[in-house]
A and B are shown apart, each in its own frame.
Chain A
Amino acid sequence: MRKIYYIVLSVVLTMSTASCDSWLDINTDPNKATEVDPDVLYNYAMMSWAANRCSGDLYFPLVWGGQTQSTGGSKGWGNVNVYDISPYSLGNTWKVFYASSGANLQQAIKIAESASPARPNVAAQCKINFAHLVYTATILHGDIPYSEGWNIAIDYPKFDTQKDILEGLIVLLDQAIAQIDVNSRLTMTKYDLAYGGDLDKWVRYANSLKFRIAMVMVDKDPSKTTMIANLLNANKMINSSAGDFKIPFEDAADKENPKFRYFKKYTNGVNIEFFANKLVVDPLNAKNDPRLPKYFDKGVSAATFIGIGANDEAVTGQTALVSSFVFRAKSPELFFSYQEQLFLEAEAYARGLGVAKDISKANQLYKQAMIAAMKYYEVTDADINKYVSENLSDLTTLSDPVREIHLQQWIDFMDRPLEAFTQWRRSGKEGFEVPELPIPRNASPAKLMRRWTYSPDEASANPNTPSVDVMTDKVWFDE
């Protein structure tokens, strides 16, 4: 009997040790990659960011809250509190900044720099977009994690001040520009949907971003005039519409611009919820601006383009709606445009920021900006020429040319609510912004929105989140 016991025991022991290791070596996921090129991470990051910018989380609440469009009240999107920014909007947008877009760009930079041979141009491309992304985040929320962000080793990233972040972004952009090696062939080209690997455009875009940051900072930090002057003098910023940084969408199912797909999915392809805001329509009407029929579809029984306040009741058949052209399937998401660059330059000369005040130079830039803006919206040359000859303002004759620049810049941002919101806040001290915004109907708090509060998820997970977190508080740059 002993024998049987030993036999059994040895069988057990043999089974338990023999070839056990290889039998257990199966812990690699067959559906995932352990190594990838930075290009594919970049693409995921950019599409996540682009889609956020032109869909329900960011675009919808900002076009109404920022008052470049209108809900149409109960005849449109609904009679809502336009300042009631849903926690999904706040949370999902934050996820783009830090995870789906931000962290993938960071990883792409890491891979590009640690690859052998290194791909500094790819790293630079990713850094420039990363700087733009962080700029967007701080401009929307104010103080946010930056210096300790995107680092899993730090449990609770601290919130840096907006000033420090913006300064940091300037440094990061300088690094990226310095890193670009025009002779290297290891550039991201196919996956670079904006510039196709054209490094000169990337440098110009980076400089334009620095310029935009300086223009945002200059009222609070007048020393930024030096930087503005240097950038204007170096003349290495976006200098044509070919320099527009934009991400394309396609006219194919599930690949269209999300705004287009919203209507396709919910309202039979027809916009019935996004109305023209009178703050945009009225100045355009005043000058018979040819962008009107591009921006808007007239009410079916209306003779003119009629706009309404941000949450006012639309009049069926009368109030103009944002056009099917703006909401077309292939409308790209525009991150930085030539006209916006020109308006900023015009402003610098009109205000004498770092450069000598020069209204006629400003006027020239303003005119170019207006033309570029119209061209972007595919206004015909004939209509543009007619506008230029009949209605274009001459800044040299205006008592407040800066106001006109601010207003046109803001109108150009009708379909770019985040830029419009930023532009409005930096266009003047509190109470003197351009245009003068009313409190939207039924808005609560009954005070103008000046920032977005933090993601509730971040607030509950990160004890460093500032406890005072109010939508009507000003961020650092906002005077």
Chain B
Amino acid sequence: MILACIIASVGLSVAQTTRVSGTILDDTGETVIGASVVAKGTTVGTVTDVDGNFSLNIPSDRKTLVISLIGMKTKEVAAGTNLRIVMENDSRLMDEVVVTAMGISRNEKSLGYSVSTLKADELLKARESNVINSLAGKVAGVRVTGASGTLGGSSKIIIRGANSLDGNNQPLFVIDGMPIDNGSQGSASNNVVAGSVDNGNRAGDINADDVESMTVLKGAAATALYGARAKNGAIIITTKKGTKGSKLSVEVNSSTRFDSVLRLPDFQNEYSQGTYGDYDLKYSNGWGAKIQGQKVTNFLGQETSLQAYEDNVKDFYETGKTYINSIALAGGSEQADYRIGLTALNQTGIIPNTEMNRYTFNANVGYNFSKKLTSRTIFSYNTTSTHGRPSQSSNNPNVLADVVNSLPRNLDIHTLKNNWRDAETGEQNGVSSDGKSNNPYWILKRNKFTASLERVVANEMLTYKPVEWITISNNLGIDFYNEKRRQVTSQGTFGDLKGSYQDDNIYNQVINNDFLVTLTRSLNSDLELKVIGGHNIYQRTAKRDILDAKDLTVDELYNPANAASVINTASSSRKRLMGIYGDAGLAYRNFLYLNVTGRNDWSSTLPKNNRSYFYSSVSSSFVFSELMENKKILSFGNVRASWANVGSDEDPYQLDFVYTPATTYYAQYSLSGSFPNSGLLGFSIPRVYPPENLKPQNQVSFEIGTNLKFLNNRIGVDFTYYYISTKDQIVSVDVPLSTGFFAKKVNIGEVRNKGIELALNLVPVRTRDFEWNIDLNYAKNKQTVEKLVAGNPDLIYNLASGWSGLQIQARKGEAFGMYGTIWERNEDGQIVIDETTGLRKIKKGQRIGDVAPKWTMGINNSFFYKGVSLSFLLDFRKGGLMYSGTVSSLRANGVAAETSANRGETFIDKGVILDASGNYVPNNIPVANMQDYWRHIANASNTEGSVFDASYVKLRELRVGYQLPKSWIRGLLLQNAEVALEGRNLWIINDHVPHIDPESSMFGVNSAGEGVEFNSVPTTKSLGVNIRLSF
């Protein structure tokens, strides 16, 4: 209905138009494909087709067309029909304007640091619910890791290697000048996705359809004006807006996609559930009898013949469906411009009964009160609701992945599904007879996790230009959201028979104000000076109330009055930051640029005497190609260099030794008791010992780079070398528990990241009808922990703890590494076997290897042939380790394919044993049985058994598009129409992790930990259709 109205109104508006048409050629006489043709002062426009032709209807009052294409000089011509327009190559390539810190627009060539900008088209390619994932493989030095296949799950970005020990390695997200929150409030303070749902990170709320461009500021020089908050880089997002003096235009973008499990484990299909070779209903595993059609009693008490159901896990997962539909209206009058966008994202997951619905409304309105005073108001609202997102890892009866993976091979998933509860009693029919393994369908139907989120990001920018060379502007913004989560566990759920629920109410608010004065002056004909002075106020408030209600009386009534025990936990925090900053830029002619910035911050979170800190940056670019006469081979070239220093503060309330009122005392198996006990309260000292004299932490970075373009843009090279040193980091150092504390907060260490980034653009073929583009980006980073604590060279820093002694640690002289239990080896590297058990001997607390990759690379190939385009993105990762809890479970439970070998036979593990005279001789001690062998290999404590090389090659994106010829859509009021088949994460071409996708993590985005996965929901591949129409 709305659409009909819009089309009707479009119909009205196009009634007063004039038809224009023509052909565009380059200076060699070749037709130019994809050049933009716009009626001046409007957004009415089109692009040239494969024959360089265009035709469109423009408002009758418009007489000029603007023709543009990157690499060509923009041209204005009088409107008319059958025009023949010749565009000239632009020798001044790189005149692209990018948005940098504080919303300051700069010419890319003038920058002393490397930036990468992704335009709307790239972001909409095979678009995901989380726009962050669109960055994967596209920008050198930017690494994106999704945690799981959960709908709306979190994605973590690491730019140029992790610099922080404390886990705060996420870049700052800034939308139209407003720094927004990118929290990912996990279940626990330690930010591990444990026993809980992957609730995603808040940058995932950004709606790709409203984004005009996304600029990645990688180095500190680029982000120095943001200070502390952007020490890990910044993602600067500019949203789309309308154009003043243009008629209404409408864009419709619709995607339909189908998601399925990217990789299912390889299962054995020879052995039933049981133990040591005997069929036993008590165990949901694969250690039972050989499946030979023998008669057994199944979980329903019926007599059946034992048989293997090869697809029982595959059939559990469904095809997820994603529908993303957006419509945007834009236009403007002489004084005002507007754009209104509406997007609906409706998604169902691969896990039955899971869904996510997100609706986004975005309005961007500009108004000129006068020539001097202008305003822009941006408002964005989104509401997201999810149902049935699954719990992951452990310590929760609702964890699904493990239950599903360890389903006995002899169990028919359809029988399980159709008999999820007893028809008569309503009681659950569990997978195993011991009442420990829940029927997954019971959990899916009765124990749904629900969450709803409402978020508003709004800002108002006022700009006053009293005279031409002075601009005074103020940008006041607020970002707040309220998220309500509820995890219910219904009565009769194994592991929590009495039922319980948890309500988690999260409120987060960011207020930011920037006041800027910009002075631009030409000092003489060659020298231009631009000075910016600014003042910033930033306040972040967070509140969280958790209600745990246990022991329910009435089934499925989730109200605190229906619970015998209710525990409330409240927390809140507020931090404030104030800063003044300045930026002075000098441009000499159009080839030499110099920028100096400085900022002083005052933070509420630091001790009073150390609360103020200053930092600065210098950057410069020299466009040497401007001095060259002959640009036939080298069409553009610059060298750039920058140096920056950034300070940063701390989380609130970390300075005092405070006592926490305890709500519970711990007991294993989720049996923590609640205070008051016998009417008494309990308080506890902090787990983290507070710091004595905290200083702001300090990061120094340096980068040097060059951008070269050859042969009229056919070859482009961008190379950067960087060096980042982060000192005096404020971190919670894990201390041995024997100190009485879990950690202490101190300024420690120095982490260095050195690396190179290379971006290559090639156009190997460009003919009249056909073009082939290759974009390659490569990044190599070397991280070294230079020191931890002066005077204590042996200190070990635990960045994050996995489980069972597996830890991600920082140790001097090494990169962040995975530590845990390894197999004992003799001098020749052979594994030492225990001479009594025949099982491998272990060594605890050893380094296993690096967690971060050695290098990453993305290669995108695009082909254009007439109206057809084909592009595919390959994503490479080399190096780094992964510990897989899923693989460990699959093997320990005897369901993994490899566990079926040698059962009931003599098996001697490869290795050596110590003989009586103390020499290592080849092992000849057989293991007692394969169940004990695999339980030892895959034991959660024996880390090495489940550690794999995390390298991979993946087909990340694939898109085949077809732009409908103008002749087809003529008369449909359409300016442009494109249909495309697109896919994402389609194929793991090569990897070394068995059973699962090598990209999974249990650590939240705010953890320094990575490389550990624990029963995550499998990741997905998706394939679908996209239709884009513009009117």
Partners in one complex: yes
Interface centre among B533, B666, B683 (most CB of A within 10 A): B683
Say whether B678 faces chain A, with CB atoms less than 8 Å apart: yes
Quick one: which of B603, B667, B738, B940 contacts A149, CB cutoff 8 A?
B738
CB distance from B356 to the nearest CB of A (A): 31
Say whether B495 faces chain A, with CB atoms less than 8 Å apart: yes
How far does the alpha carbon of A193 sit from the alpha carbon of B682 in the complex, in Å? 13
**Interface residues in B536-587 (C-beta closer than 8 Å to A):** 550-551, 563-565, 567, 570-576, 578, 580
Quick one: which of A33, A102, A255, A457 contacts B683, CB cutoff 8 A?
A33
A98 (CB) vs chain B CBs: closest residue: B737
Chain A positions 1 through 38: 1 when the CB is less than 8 Å from some CB of chain B, otherwise 0:
10011001101110110001101111111111111100
Q: Cβ of A79 and Cβ of B742 under 8 Å apart?
A: no
**Interface residues in B780-839 (C-beta closer than 8 Å to A):** 792, 794-796, 798, 801, 803-805, 807, 809, 819-821, 836-837
Interface centre among A23, A57, A74 (most CB of B within 10 A): A74
**Interface residues in B459-496 (C-beta closer than 8 Å to A):** 466-467, 470, 472, 494-496
Residues of B within 8 A of A30 (CB): 572
Residues of A within 8 A of B658 (CB): 29, 32-34
Q: Cβ of B535 and Cβ of A24 under 8 Å apart?
A: no
**Interface residues in B622-662 (C-beta closer than 8 Å to A):** 652-653, 655-662
CB distance from B529 to the nearest CB of A (A): 14
Residues of B within 8 A of A156 (CB): 736, 794
**Residues A34 and B470 in contact in the complex (CB < 8 Å), given A26-B574, A457-B801:** no
Quick one: which of A12, A91, A444 contacts B580, CB cutoff 8 A?
A12
Say whether B739 faces chain A, with CB atoms less than 8 Å apart: yes
CB distance from B799 to the nearest CB of A (A): 12
Say whether A318 faces chain B, with CB atoms less than 8 Å apart: no
Say whether B53 faces chain A, with CB atoms less than 8 Å apart: no
Say whether A69 faces chain B, with CB atoms less than 8 Å apart: no
Interface centre among B805, B928, B932 (most CB of A within 10 A): B805
Say whether B908 faces chain A, with CB atoms less than 8 Å apart: no
**Residues A266 and B669 in contact in the complex (CB < 8 Å), given A12-B535, A12-B580, A100-B684:** yes
Q: Cβ of A16 and Cβ of B659 under 8 Å apart?
A: no
Say whether A335 faces chain B, with CB atoms less than 8 Å apart: no
Say whether A145 faces chain B, with CB atoms less than 8 Å apart: yes
Quick one: which of A56, A157, A249, A460 contacts B668, CB cutoff 8 A?
A56
Q: Cβ of B515 and Cβ of A12 under 8 Å apart?
A: yes
Q: Cβ of B740 and Cβ of A264 under 8 Å apart?
A: no
How far does the alpha carbon of A372 sit from the alpha carbon of B410 in the complex, in Å? 54
Residues of B within 8 A of A438 (CB): none
Residues of A within 8 A of B534 (CB): 12
**Interface residues in A49-98 (C-beta closer than 8 Å to B):** 51-52, 55-57, 60, 74, 78-79, 81, 86-89, 91-92, 94-96, 98
Q: Cβ of B472 and Cβ of A40 under 8 Å apart?
A: no
CB distance from A211 to the nearest CB of B (A): 27
Interface centre among B669, B677, B684, B798 (most CB of A within 10 A): B677
How far does the alpha carbon of A12 sit from the alpha carbon of B535 in the complex, in Å? 6
Say whether A99 faces chain B, with CB atoms less than 8 Å apart: yes
Say whether A152 faces chain B, with CB atoms less than 8 Å apart: yes
Q: Cβ of A20 and Cβ of B602 under 8 Å apart?
A: yes
Residues of A within 8 A of B517 (CB): 5, 8-9, 12
Residues of B within 8 A of A33 (CB): 658-661, 683
Q: Cβ of A87 and Cβ of B656 under 8 Å apart?
A: no
Residues of B within 8 A of A41 (CB): 659, 682-685
Residues of B within 8 A of A4 (CB): 466, 470
Which of A200-208, A354-362, A412-420, A461-469 makes up part of the contact surface?
A461-469
Q: Cβ of B576 and Cβ of A457 under 8 Å apart?
A: no
Residues of B within 8 A of A152 (CB): 689, 735, 739-741, 744
Residues of A within 8 A of B657 (CB): 34
B274 (CB) vs chain A CBs: closest residue: A74
Interface centre among A27, A31, A107, A249 (most CB of B within 10 A): A27
Q: Cβ of A9 and Cβ of B667 under 8 Å apart?
A: no
Interface centre among A41, A155, A157 (most CB of B within 10 A): A155
Q: Cβ of A266 and Cβ of B685 under 8 Å apart?
A: no
CB distance from A188 to the nearest CB of B (A): 11
Chain A: interface residue count, which band?
Answer: 35 or more
Quick one: which of A11, A47, A459 contacts B805, CB cutoff 8 A?
A459
Say whether B282 faces chain A, with CB atoms less than 8 Å apart: yes
Residues of B within 8 A of A13 (CB): 580
Say whether A184 faces chain B, with CB atoms less than 8 Å apart: no
Chain B positions 849 through 860: 1 when the CB is less than 8 Å from some CB of chain A, otherwise 0:
000000000000
Q: Cβ of A29 and Cβ of B684 under 8 Å apart?
A: no
How far does the alpha carbon of A40 sit from the alpha carbon of B659 in the complex, in Å? 10
CB distance from B664 to the nearest CB of A (A): 8
Chain B: interface residue count, which band?
Answer: 35 or more
How far does the alpha carbon of A79 sit from the alpha carbon of B608 in the complex, in Å? 60
**Residues A99 and B740 in contact in the complex (CB < 8 Å), given A24-B603, A43-B677, A155-B735:** yes
Say whether B941 faces chain A, with CB atoms less than 8 Å apart: yes
Q: Cβ of A149 and Cβ of B740 under 8 Å apart?
A: yes
Q: Cβ of A265 and Cβ of B565 under 8 Å apart?
A: no
Say whether B921 faces chain A, with CB atoms less than 8 Å apart: no
Q: Cβ of B673 and Cβ of A51 under 8 Å apart?
A: yes
Q: Cβ of A103 and Cβ of B685 under 8 Å apart?
A: yes
B655 (CB) vs chain A CBs: closest residue: A27
How far does the alpha carbon of A467 sit from the alpha carbon of B680 in the complex, in Å? 42
How far does the alpha carbon of A34 sit from the alpha carbon of B820 in the complex, in Å? 37
Say whether B903 faces chain A, with CB atoms less than 8 Å apart: no
Say whether A154 faces chain B, with CB atoms less than 8 Å apart: yes
How far does the alpha carbon of A254 sit from the alpha carbon of B567 in the complex, in Å? 10
Q: Cβ of B736 and Cβ of A462 under 8 Å apart?
A: yes
How far does the alpha carbon of A23 sit from the alpha carbon of B537 in the complex, in Å? 11
How far does the alpha carbon of A379 sit from the alpha carbon of B671 in the complex, in Å? 30
Say whether B605 faces chain A, with CB atoms less than 8 Å apart: yes
A106 (CB) vs chain B CBs: closest residue: B740
Q: Cβ of A102 and Cβ of B740 under 8 Å apart?
A: yes
Residues of A within 8 A of B665 (CB): 44, 47-48, 51, 100
Say whether B675 faces chain A, with CB atoms less than 8 Å apart: yes
Say whether B498 faces chain A, with CB atoms less than 8 Å apart: yes
Q: Cβ of B282 and Cβ of A460 under 8 Å apart?
A: no
Residues of B within 8 A of A92 (CB): 666, 668
Say whether A261 faces chain B, with CB atoms less than 8 Å apart: yes
Q: Cβ of A459 and Cβ of B275 under 8 Å apart?
A: no
CB distance from B803 to the nearest CB of A (A): 7
Q: Cβ of B742 and Cβ of A87 under 8 Å apart?
A: no
Say whether B734 faces chain A, with CB atoms less than 8 Å apart: yes
Quick one: which of B494, B567, B673 contacts A47, CB cutoff 8 A?
B673
Residues of A within 8 A of B535 (CB): 12, 15-16
Residues of B within 8 A of A20 (CB): 578, 602
Q: Cβ of A55 and Cβ of B669 under 8 Å apart?
A: yes
Say whether B611 faces chain A, with CB atoms less than 8 Å apart: yes
Say whether A222 faces chain B, with CB atoms less than 8 Å apart: no
Say whether A104 faces chain B, with CB atoms less than 8 Å apart: yes
CB distance from B822 to the nearest CB of A (A): 12
How far does the alpha carbon of A23 sit from the alpha carbon of B674 in the complex, in Å? 38
Report 29 cross-chain contacts, Cβ distance below 8 Å, ordered by A residue: A5-B470, A12-B515, A13-B580, A24-B602, A26-B576, A29-B573, A32-B656, A32-B660, A40-B680, A55-B668, A74-B282, A74-B283, A91-B805, A103-B740, A103-B741, A149-B738, A152-B740, A155-B792, A249-B673, A254-B564, A256-B673, A261-B667, A266-B669, A267-B497, A444-B837, A444-B932, A456-B805, A457-B801, A460-B805
With A87-B940, A91-B805, A255-B673 given, can you name 11 additional A-B contacts, CB distance below 8 Å? Answer: A5-B470, A25-B604, A33-B683, A40-B682, A43-B680, A44-B665, A55-B671, A87-B804, A104-B684, A191-B680, A458-B736
Q: Which 8 A-B pairs have the closest CB atoms?
A: A456-B805, A56-B668, A44-B682, A103-B740, A253-B564, A462-B736, A254-B565, A145-B738
Q: Give residues in A with beta carbon < 8 Å to B.
A: 1, 4-5, 8-9, 11-13, 15-16, 20-21, 23-36, 40-41, 43-44, 47-48, 51-52, 55-57, 60, 74, 78-79, 81, 86-89, 91-92, 94-96, 98-100, 102-104, 106-107, 144-145, 148-152, 154-157, 190-191, 193, 248-250, 252-256, 258, 261-262, 264-268, 444-446, 455-463, 465, 469
